[in-house]
Chain A
């Protein structure tokens, strides 16, 4: 754990009114000022001649790395985690999703081509296969064929060594051995073998705790797990999902399956978002399916989940539509309303700034059903528009628009 300024101060002469109190040798006016700077790592511990050994020890303990970041290629790093739970801070480097390819496989080229071509976009992130876990006797040639900075090849002796083990004890021993040889970059590979899901999850949790809480050096490295060959894709989905949540830094799949990748990348996207910061989208007018000037206009806030729920429905409609997204600090509809981030004035200003009136001939704006109580207020602020109360749930939008059409 990091030491706070006050915790550090207790060890300094200033707190004990001892000799050397506020001696300024460190360059700071007081011991307290020095303690605060030291806590923020803005000054070195060697600047103070009065630091007791006890604090030095605590300090070196606290400045030990929790989990090393290891480069898998020029583009890709793994590890570097600092907390056990995402809500404590944020997870750092997304779980690497790798696929196993055997370089002796007769279908190697076809399989590689598929992996290279796979990519989709979801909420502003590109999903693609991060790495290939290469085995077989023909590795050098295979590596040349992959030759793509965007897809890392595991293993890569020039970047790291792999410590293999069947459990935490074996990993610890092997990692220690590599450290003694002077290796600094290590990946821990935990063998799955015949372990149950529970055993794997337990081993991974103990390894992560040893790193984050104990900062025990042999285990402060990223962990890789390869799924067993005999799992079908649905089982692989269940287990890999668990591994993304429970502490594998690299998950190796045996098969290339688009549905599996899409699902796992979506889960990873969820787990690695910053829990302190709501995901938001740009406030502007979005167009769906090439709307004409009479297409319906809907309005909502810029909270990413709200936007994507509504956008998903509008995209799936056979007709075009517009969506006005207001700048609401990434808050959902009701939160924004209660925090004064969705006021009649603000909505009126957005509609004006975005020049909606120039874009469309229709003069109706459909507002979220949850804000039906704002209808009169909005109507007053935007007399040139007809304010219509829409649906509470995004999934009701298609039916709602259909019923309006038939009016």
Chain B
């Protein structure tokens, strides 16, 4: 053995990331970038598989085909049996939430979601006017403690009190900006959420469409957190599946032969983006394609 001190540089950290726990699954706790031994107290990056409440609403054919011919309870059961760490359900309702729709959602939570054994993310419709009504309903009727996604600058006042009251973890989304992320954390803590129950969502773009911005914001947030900023040391979640499937490369076959086989490219597009942001430090990545989940679980 010889002396390695002349070239081994260890990371100088002042503060470990916050750790939170969701039905016994550890999230966060990073003390360096992933895969490093100096990061040994960290949870591994977690892979979530997202299933929509309504496939007809905005999902690409390639994802729909994966689950074709199966009912939503069947699909969720299969997802629950997959090797995903977390199941995410996106409540992509598009109307103004009638009483009938609300009671349908409540039944679904009570009778179907309650059977899922894995930890859960319950996610709104990405529409502020729906989400300020929907997320409190999800928080109140969730069968167990969940991750509720997401509140932003305009909705946090309505959503934070419900997440706090029912002891859920809350995702706070800000548009790829470290200062805005910090500000929303502080505002939400003032509104009553425990800082240990926050996940930061940097609202990043998918591969080829601005992934780099989100990638660097994640690295910057991690650096600030390791350096001791206690308003930025929450675990980071990224909904990379949704962003990947916005890209025409991932959802359409309208390319020349050199762009590659569509079936393969559509999975790779999601895998590559996820792999990149895991290396940047994302603690949870939420994916759409069960095949990507399988591959990423295999390499982490």
Contacts and interface: CB of A to CB of B under 8 A. Distances in A.
Interface string A207-235: 00110011010110000000000000111
B236 interface: no
A16 B2 CA distance: 43
A402 B136 CA distance: 36
B103 to A, nearest CB: 30
B275 A241 contact: yes
Contacts of A313: 248
A270 B215 CA distance: 9
Which bracket fits the contact residues of B?
35 or more
Contact of B256 (A85, A120, A205, A213): A120
Q: Is the interface of A mostly helix, strand, loop or mixed?
A: helix
B208 A122 contact: yes
A150 interface: no
B271 A237 contact: yes
Contacts of B259: 120, 258-259, 262
Interface in B163-209: 205, 207-209
B296 interface: yes
B83 interface: no
B125 interface: no
Contact of B216 (A86, A199, A263): A86
A198 interface: yes
Contacts of B280: 245
Nearest to B58: A395
B11 to A, nearest CB: 8
A259 B259 CA distance: 6
Contacts of A209: 8-9
B268 A260 contact: yes
B288 interface: no
Interface in B212-230: 212-213, 215-216, 219-220, 223
Given A120-B256, A202-B37, A262-B259, A213 B210 contact: no
A257 B258 contact: no
A108 interface: no
A386 interface: no
Interface string B221-263: 0010000000000000000000000101100101011111110
B77 interface: no
A324 B219 CA distance: 35
A118 B276 contact: no
B91 interface: no
A266 B219 contact: no
A262 B212 contact: no
Interface stretch (B18-26, B28-36, B146-154): B28-36
A307 to B, nearest CB: 11
A68 to B, nearest CB: 15
Contact of A263 (B254, B258, B265, B295): B265
A246 B35 CA distance: 10
A119 interface: yes
A118 B210 CA distance: 25
B57 interface: no
A118 to B, nearest CB: 5
A183 interface: no
Interface string A353-378: 00000000000000000000000000
Contacts of B97: none
Contact of B276 (A197, A202, A214, A245): A245
A174 to B, nearest CB: 13
B248 A316 contact: yes
B291 interface: yes
Nearest to B263: A259
Contacts of A264: 272
B71 interface: no
B254 A169 contact: no
Which bracket fits the contact residues of A?
35 or more
Given A197-B35, A205-B36, A85 B7 contact: no
B264 interface: yes
Contact of B258 (A118, A244, A246, A305): A118
A201 B299 CA distance: 11
A242 interface: yes
B155 interface: no
Interface in A234-271: 234-235, 237-239, 241-242, 244-246, 257-264, 266-267, 269-271
B264 to A, nearest CB: 4
Contacts of B130: none
Given A210-B9, A239-B299, A275-B216, A234 B33 contact: no
A198 B38 CA distance: 12
B278 interface: yes
A262 B209 contact: no
Contacts of B276: 241-242, 244-245, 267, 270-271
A273 interface: yes
A87 interface: yes
B213 to A, nearest CB: 8
Interface in B91-116: none
A168 B7 CA distance: 10
A286 interface: no
A259 B268 CA distance: 8
B68 interface: no
Nearest to B44: A198
A206 interface: yes
A234 B278 contact: no
Interface of B: 2, 4, 6-9, 33-37, 205, 207-213, 215-216, 219-220, 223, 246, 248-249, 252, 254, 256-262, 264-265, 267-269, 271-276, 278-280, 291-292, 295-296, 298-300
Given A234-B295, A258-B258, 12 more contacts: A202-B36, A233-B268, A238-B298, A259-B264, A263-B260, A263-B265, A269-B208, A270-B208, A270-B211, A275-B216, A305-B209, A305-B210
The 8 closest A-B pairs by CB, nearest first: A259-B260, A258-B260, A241-B275, A210-B7, A201-B35, A259-B265, A216-B7, A209-B9
12 contacts: A86-B219, A172-B7, A197-B300, A201-B36, A216-B7, A234-B291, A245-B279, A266-B272, A271-B215, A275-B213, A309-B209, A395-B246
Interface of A: 85-87, 117-120, 122, 168-169, 172, 197-199, 201-202, 205-206, 209-210, 213-214, 216, 218-219, 233-235, 237-239, 241-242, 244-246, 257-264, 266-267, 269-271, 273, 275, 305, 308-309, 312-313, 316, 395
